[in-house]
Amino acid sequence: MTSTSKSVCDPKNYEQLFNTHSTTVFNFIYYKCGDRQQAEDIVQDAFIKLWRNCSKVDFEKAKSYVFTVARNLFFNEAAHKKIVLKYQSNPNKSINNQTPEFLLEEQQFMEKLNEAIAGLPEKQREVFLLSRIDKKKYSEISEIVGISIKAVEKRMSLALIALRDKLGNI
């Protein structure tokens, strides 16, 4: 670290970094996962890690450091969720008149669907979930992800083809 460089360990500088970059980091992660709470937690953890390593991080590189940490935390959580989805059982606790066979088939299908979505490449999964879960239009997805509408259409098409291959025509 050069003597003219600001120190990340200075609380005022750290606060400036947080105020300047936390919203952008939040949006970056939120668009990847679509879960506000998860995005908030990851941003918080990334800035905590920055504070803990403040003496090792140059002020000029702090933004890049926080984005890298946040992205890695997201990937770690995504990998963990993939494992959880694989082994998660979703017992239906509501009383209904559906047969146990139907409920079992439904549970198996949901597990297979979650596994298939989790198995999509990140860019396709991101576009698919923004469209189908967050109900975003292709133009909104284009803006969020920072790609053209044509690229959104291509990723969505590839995601649907991959899901169709894994799940069959339902």
Position 41 pLDDT exceeds 80 = yes
The tokens describing 25, both together, are: 């980091």
Residue after which a domain boundary falls, among 36, 53, 83: 83
Establish if 104 belongs to a structural domain. yes
Q: Mean pLDDT score of the chain, rounded to an integer? A: 83
Residue 5 lies in a domain: no
Domain boundary among 48, 83, 118: 83
Residue 2 lies in a domain: no
Same domain, 99 and 152: yes
Domain count, the chain: 2
Nearby residues of 112 by Cβ (< 8 Å), 6 or more positions away: 166, 167
Name every residue whose Cβ is closer than 8 Å to that of residue 129 and which is 6 or more positions away in sequence.
34, 117
Average pLDDT over residues 24-29: 88
Place of tokens 């995601």: 159
Q: Rounded distance, CA 44 to CA 26, Å?
A: 9
The answer to the question of residue 6 being in a domain is: no
Q: Which of 125, 117, 156, 161 is nearest to 139 (CA)?
A: 156
In this structure, the answer to whether residues 65 and 122 fall within a common structural domain is: no
Domain assignment of residue 4, yes or no: no
pLDDT of the residue at 92: 47
Domain of residue 15: give its range.
11-83
If asked whether residues 39 and 58 sit together in one domain, one would say yes
Give the C-alpha separation, 78 to 165, whole Å.
22
User: What global pTM score does this model have?
Assistant: 0.49
Residues 140 and 119 in one domain: yes
Q: Report pLDDT for 29.
A: 87
Do residues 72 and 35 share a domain? yes
The radius of gyration computed from the CA coordinates of the chain, to the nearest angstrom, equals 20
